[in-house]
Amino acid sequence: MDPIDLRSDTVTKPTPEMRRAMAEAEVGDDVFGDDPTVHALEERAAELLGKEAGLFVTSGTMGNLVVQMAHLARGEEAIAGYQSHVVLDEAAGHAVVVGASVRALRERADGTMDPDEIRSAFRDASDPHQPITGLVVIENTHAHSMGRPLSVAYTAEVAGIAHENGIPLHVDGARFWNAAVALGVSGPELAAPADSVTFCLSKGLACPVGSVVVGTREFIWRARRARKLLGGGMRQAGILAAAGLVALRDGSAGMIERLADDHANARRLATDLASLSGIRSAGDIAQPGDGPLDPARVVTNFVLFRVEGDRRAFADACAARGLLLDLFPHGQLRAVTHYGIGMADVERAVAIFRSVLAETRPGQPASSATRP
Ligand SMILES: *Cc1c(COP(=O)(O)O)cnc(C)c1O
Quick: pLDDT tens for 128-152: 999 999 999 999 999 999 999 999 9
Which residue among 89, 94, 196 is best mutated to probe the pocket of ligand 1, counting the most ligand atoms within 8 A of its Cβ? 89
Ligand 1, closest atom to CA 211?
7
**Which pLDDT value is given to residue 360?**
79
What whole-number distance in Å separates Cα of residue 367 and Cα of residue 120? 54
CATH superfamily of 258-358: Aspartate Aminotransferase, domain 1 (3.90.1150.10)
Whether ligand 1 lies within 6 angstroms of the CB of 301 is answered as no
CA 81 to ligand 1 center in whole angstroms: 14
CATH code linked to domain 12-247: 3.40.640.10
CA 105 to ligand 1 center in whole angstroms: 19
Which residue's alpha carbon is at the smallest distance from atom 14 of ligand 1? 174
CA 36 to ligand 1 center in whole angstroms: 26
Contact 299, 265 (CB under 8 A): no
CA 103 to ligand 1 center in whole angstroms: 20
Q: Are strands 279-281 and 76-81 parallel, antiparallel or unpaired?
A: unpaired
Whether ligand 1 lies within 6 angstroms of the CB of 200 is answered as yes
CA 174 to ligand 1 center in whole angstroms: 5
Which residue's alpha carbon is at the smallest distance from atom 2 of ligand 1? 174
**Which pLDDT value is given to residue 347?**
97
**Which pLDDT value is given to residue 253?**
97
Q: What is the mean pLDDT of each run of 10 residues along the chain (372 residues)?
A: 95 98 98 97 98 98 98 97 96 97 96 98 95 98 96 98 98 98 98 98 98 98 98 97 98 97 98 93 73 92 93 96 94 96 97 93 51 38
Whether ligand 1 lies within 6 angstroms of the CB of 90 is answered as no
Quick: pLDDT tens for 159-197: 999 999 999 999 999 999 999 999 999 999 999 999 999
Amino acid identity, residue 131? P
Q: How many helices (H) and strands (E) does the chain have?
A: 14, 13
Which residue among 65, 107, 200 is best mutated to probe the pocket of ligand 1, counting the most ligand atoms within 8 A of its Cβ? 200
Instruction: Considering the chain, tell me which residue range(s) the CATH 3.90.1150.10 domain(s) occupy.
Output: 258-358
Instruction: Considering the chain, tell me which residue range(s) the CATH 3.40.640.10 domain(s) occupy.
Output: 12-247
CA 264 to ligand 1 center in whole angstroms: 22
Please state, in angstroms and as integers, the Cα–Cα distance from residue 55 to each residue in 32, 194, 283, following that order: 14, 16, 37
Whether ligand 1 lies within 6 angstroms of the CB of 71 is answered as no
E strands, the chain, where?
4-5, 53-57, 76-81, 101-105, 132-139, 169-172, 196-200, 211-215, 279-281, 302-307, 323-324, 326-328, 332-336
Q: Could you count the other beta carbons within 10 Å of the beta carbon of residue 89?
A: 14
Whether ligand 1 lies within 6 angstroms of the CB of 145 is answered as no
Contact 165, 66 (CB under 8 A): no
Which residue among 7, 10, 58, 61 is best mutated to probe the pocket of ligand 1, counting the most ligand atoms within 8 A of its Cβ? 61
Quick: pLDDT tens for 82-106: 999 999 999 999 999 999 999 999 9
Q: b/e string for 232-260 if b means 16 or more Cβ within 10 A?
A: bebebbbbbbbbbbbbbeeeeebbbebbe
Provide the H-helix boundaries in 85-207.
85-88, 93, 115-121, 152-164, 176-183, 187-191
Ligand 1, closest atom to CA 139?
13
pTM: 0.95
Contact 3, 319 (CB under 8 A): yes
Whether ligand 1 lies within 6 angstroms of the CB of 65 is answered as no
Q: Could you count the other beta carbons within 10 Å of the beta carbon of residue 276?
A: 22
**Which pLDDT value is given to residue 282?**
83
CA 135 to ligand 1 center in whole angstroms: 19
Q: Is the dihedral of CA 109, 115, 116, 118 positive or negative?
A: positive
176-178-181 Cα angle (round to 5): 110
Whether ligand 1 lies within 6 angstroms of the CB of 174 is answered as yes
What whole-number distance in Å separates Cα of residue 306 and Cα of residue 294? 12
CA 147 to ligand 1 center in whole angstroms: 12
**Which pLDDT value is given to residue 368?**
46
What whole-number distance in Å separates Cα of residue 80 and Cα of residue 63? 16
Whether ligand 1 lies within 6 angstroms of the CB of 61 is answered as yes
Q: How many residues does the chain have?
A: 372
